[in-house]
A and B are shown apart, each in its own frame.
Chain A
Amino acid sequence: MKLVTHNMLTSKCLKGVNTGYPLKLVVKEIRVQSSDFNKEFISKMIPRLDWAVFVVAAKQIGHAGNLPDQLLPDYENNEELLKDVHHALFEVDIYEGELICPETNRKFQISEGIPNMLVKENEL
């Protein structure tokens, strides 16, 4: 599971949970695989992110590079920054670990890189 996915997932469908976001991360194994860097694509992705959630998660997994806590204007022209975003967002795979609901502490397993977000009927 890459951080781009972590940036979207919630546990909101659980009964009694208000936002369920961001999910806490427990990392047991990380795999890094490089992929093609595409400047325009990354620039386009940035405004779709919850930036603060992204940076906190990137720092936690130790792949934040020089990502600033607050997004600077003119980021489209900052190639260094765009490369750091590309790396943290798309190249680092949380291969084994857990996602934890911030409100109920319900755990969701990540195994072989796939988060299991299924919940039982009585949890809905």
Chain B
Amino acid sequence: MACMKLKKLEQILQEVDSFDTPKIKLEQYMTPPNIAACILFAIQSSFDDIDNKIIADLGCGSGILSIGSILLGAAFCSGFDIDHDALNICLKNLKQFQLSSYDLIQCDISYLSDTFYKRYDTVIMNPPFGTNKKGIDIEFLKVAINMSKHSVYSLHKTNTREYISSKARSWRIKNEVIAELRFDLPHTYKFHTKKSVDIAVDLHRFSQL
């Protein structure tokens, strides 16, 4: 598939439905469509890691990263999430866009077996930051690095950058921050007093796995 224009991708991703009732415990919030479009576009145009590739989206939620990947030419995309309600919305979204090159799997990422070892070309994910369950971000990363043959893209809070890099060093893989983003997290977090919070987020790339 010829590479879709960024503006067009962003426009289409605006149509992706988000969580109905986000579960705070699972850190459910959707990657904003403009950010999703921008990072997917960069992953394809700078690294050619989407077109004709088999991709895994860990903690796929309502599926915006999976959908964007398929639109940018992914040959197949597997979405994994622990939550049935999220997967239902994801399925509706995928059907609405008339996509078929995907599978959705309901599972806990922490218990994914090693038969997934190196089966995927690329993993693209916006994992839980570990705000609620400490260490879950690193667990997602470990699984992602295990199942990918080539590269992993993952979003993490900027204030954990050093920690993430030190993990990558200890696993002896290459890690770089390829984009610095700002997330406007809306009302998802009821315990915040303000209507929304603005947080700094990095897009990490892991390679030479």
Residue ranges of A at the interface with B (Cβ–Cβ < 8 Å): 1-2, 4-5, 8-10, 12-13, 20-21, 33, 35-36, 38, 40-41, 45, 48, 90, 93, 112-119, 124
Contacts and interface: CB of A to CB of B under 8 A. Distances in A.
A112 B91 contact: yes
A87 to B, nearest CB: 13
Contact of A4 (B76, B100, B107, B115): B76
B143 interface: no
A35 B111 contact: no
Q: Is the interface of A mostly helix, strand, loop or mixed?
A: loop
Contacts of A114: 87, 91, 104-106
Nearest to B102: A2
Contacts, number: 64
A10 B54 CA distance: 20
Nearest to A42: B75
Instruction: Give the interface size class of chain B.
Output: 20 to 34
Contacts of A113: 91, 103-104
A4 B52 contact: no
Residue of B84, B111, B114 ringed by the most chain A CB atoms within 10 A = B111
Interface in B99-135: 100-101, 103-108, 111, 113-116, 118-119
